[in-house]
A and B are shown apart, each in its own frame.
Chain A
Amino acid sequence: MAGEAVFRQDFPVKGGDFAKAGAVACRIKDLLKELGLDSPIIRRAAIASYEAEMNVIMYAREGRVRLAVSPGEVRITVDDKGPGIPDVGLAMTEGYSTATPEMRELGFGAGMGLPNIGRNADAFRIDSRVGRGTHLEITIHTNGRHP
């Protein structure tokens, strides 16, 4: 992204704050619309950031979503302080979930979150340290593929 115009904005997310679920993804969606991105790209970014935001709300104490938009790509980086993911490969399996029954009652925790991010991203990286937290890096090319 060096030398290019980049728009950056950070959004804090509080763990357990289900009442605000989706607020960050919604802000990101509105921003991308104002930046003039195509609607399929916006939709993918909105879905990916929603899932990432929900993971922080459901599992972590707190986290931060960072948005960086350049003419060529949308990058969404998420860092949280939380339990971490012991087996990232397993967590990427559709249907695998560690959600509590309470979360499931609310309609969350179907085990589709991380796979859904992967499906909507052009590049997706996870680093997780058990007991410390998780770092996600989601990249969507503005002229990218349509999943």
Chain B
Amino acid sequence: MKETKHYHAIHITKDKCIGCVHCMTVCPAKAIRVKDGKARIIDERCVDCGECLRICPYDAVHSHTTSFAALDAFAYKVAIPSTVIYGQFGNATLPNEILSALRRVGFDEVYDPSAICELNTAAIEEYLNEHPQPRPFITSTCPVVVRLIQRRYPALCRQILPIEPPREIAAKILRAILPKALNLPPEKIGIIHLTPCPAKMVSINSPATLEKSYLDGAISIRDIYPQVIGTLKKSQEDAVMRHLFPETLFSGIGMGWSLSGGETRGLKNHRAVAVSGVTDTMRVLDQVEAGLLQDIDLLECTVCPDGCVGGPLQVENRFLAKSRILQLVDAAGDRAVVDHKDVSRLYHKNFLSFDHPVAPVETPPLDPDASRAILKATRREKLFAKLPRKDCGACGAPDCRTLADDIVRGLARLADCPFAKKEMR
């Protein structure tokens, strides 16, 4: 999997796109234009949030996740699912049954993520204890938030808490242990994340904080769902055994990680605030950038509504999934399965840290020359005043302000607006 400067997991299938403006209107990064009847994504602006994928009525937006068949390249296949998976199969299906079904589907081993999530919370706690400044720190679990900060809030890069998210930590641990345990060369072992999120592919293929991701790929829950549900149906008698002799002890602290607030629920001595949804996340990051919220220790931001459980590549209605996961959280209570001495040891060996800090990604100004940028900004305001402010999208830009911006950047013409009167052009 090659790294490119602007690798993206989200793409538009031209044949299916009819050039309606749904995706363009919802894009929070204003990264979509409709030109010649087809939607086009501006690579430099896209943050892979998946809002377009969620809204497209014609199934024309797709995500590049790993296919199940691609795993044949590995002699030993390991799955690390997101805890979102536990909310996908109704109230009667226990986590152990789901893990067991995944093994039957073709994974040689499947690891429960809740313990690693608990480990992560403990490491965050330790980091906050040792670093009284700056405030607030922002969690790095949501790859879209990291990319949003790099591009829109570059000054906040230094406030991203430099502990890798559970999916990477889990893969790193397994990568260290499995080759010896299985007596296999490391490249023969495939470690795959199962995810409701298209952006995980981006964090795997062009990581913002690691030299190289510890994961080999990510399969969407949507893709693997049919096989899992089929297997679950076939093994109903088996379920009784899983109920009576559970083989995995789930962490109560980690179980709710995929719900907004789940990452910070286990913090004991710090004030944390959880924000979900892309619009609210941007609103709060605006406030942090203005120097506010300094009385908060940790800000958990996830761009999907309600957290990862609202990811565009999950299957179950997100409210039902959330309700099921909350039930599991209740059942597990505050059960801790991780020894804090282990966490502390890994933490102080920097085993859980970023390889390097998050670096800002420059967004091009109106013009590299300061005077010309000022002239362009002035011209843009004059153009905007001429536009109808209906934000109809007929010109191919999401709103009138963006059209004015495109015009001064040389990407569009005033004539693209069907409302701008001829004499104004």
Taking a contact as CB atoms closer than 8 A, the residue among A7, A29, A71 that contacts B378 in the complex is A7
Residues of A within 8 A of B377 (CB): 7, 31, 34-35, 69
A22-B287, A50-B290 known; A7+B363 contact, CB < 8 A: no
Docked complex Cα distance between A8 and B374 (Å)? 9
Verify B154–A36 contact, CB threshold 8 A.
no
Residues of A within 8 A of B154 (CB): 39
A25 at the interface (CB under 8 A from B): yes
Verify A35–B374 contact, CB threshold 8 A.
yes
- Over the window 365-389 of chain B, the binary record of Cβ atoms lying under 8 Å from chain A Cβ atoms (1 yes, 0 no) is 1111011111101100100000000
Question: From B363, which residue of chain A is reached at the shortest CB distance?
Answer: A33
B360 at the interface (CB under 8 A from A): yes
Residues of B within 8 A of A8 (CB): 378
Residues of A within 8 A of B291 (CB): 43, 46-47, 50, 116
- Distance (Å) between the CB of A27 and the closest chain B CB? 10
Docked complex Cα distance between A130 and B26 (Å)? 47
- Distance (Å) between the CB of A104 and the closest chain B CB? 13
Taking a contact as CB atoms closer than 8 A, the residue among B290, B372, B373 that contacts A34 in the complex is B373
B155 at the interface (CB under 8 A from A): yes
Question: From B377, which residue of chain A is reached at the shortest CB distance?
Answer: A7
- Distance (Å) between the CB of B238 and the closest chain A CB? 55
A-B contact count (CB 8 A): 67
B187 at the interface (CB under 8 A from A): no
Which B residues from 269 to 298 make CB contacts under 8 A with A?
286-287, 289-292, 295
A22-B290, A25-B290, A46-B290 known; A39+B375 contact, CB < 8 A: no
What does DSSP make chain B's interface, helix, strand, loop or mixed?
A: helix
Residues of B within 8 A of A107 (CB): 295
Taking a contact as CB atoms closer than 8 A, the residue among B286, B289, B295, B370 that contacts A35 in the complex is B370
Verify A69–B290 contact, CB threshold 8 A.
no
Report the interface size for chain A: residues with CB under 8 A from the other chain. Answer: 28
A9-B381, A25-B290, A43-B289 known; A36+B375 contact, CB < 8 A: no
Verify B374–A7 contact, CB threshold 8 A.
yes
Verify A42–B373 contact, CB threshold 8 A.
no
Which A residues from 14 to 35 make CB contacts under 8 A with B?
22, 25-26, 29, 31, 33-35
A5 at the interface (CB under 8 A from B): yes
Residues of A within 8 A of B363 (CB): 33
A6 at the interface (CB under 8 A from B): yes
Residues of B within 8 A of A31 (CB): 377
- Distance (Å) between the CB of A73 and the closest chain B CB? 11
Other A-B contacts than A4-B371, A5-B370, A34-B366, 4 sampled, CB-CB below 8 A, are A5-B375, A29-B286, A31-B377, A36-B370
Closest 4 CB pairs of A and B: A36-B365, A71-B370, A5-B374, A5-B371
13 contacts between A and B (CB under 8 A): A8-B378, A22-B292, A26-B290, A31-B377, A33-B365, A34-B366, A35-B366, A35-B373, A40-B155, A43-B289, A69-B374, A69-B377, A71-B374
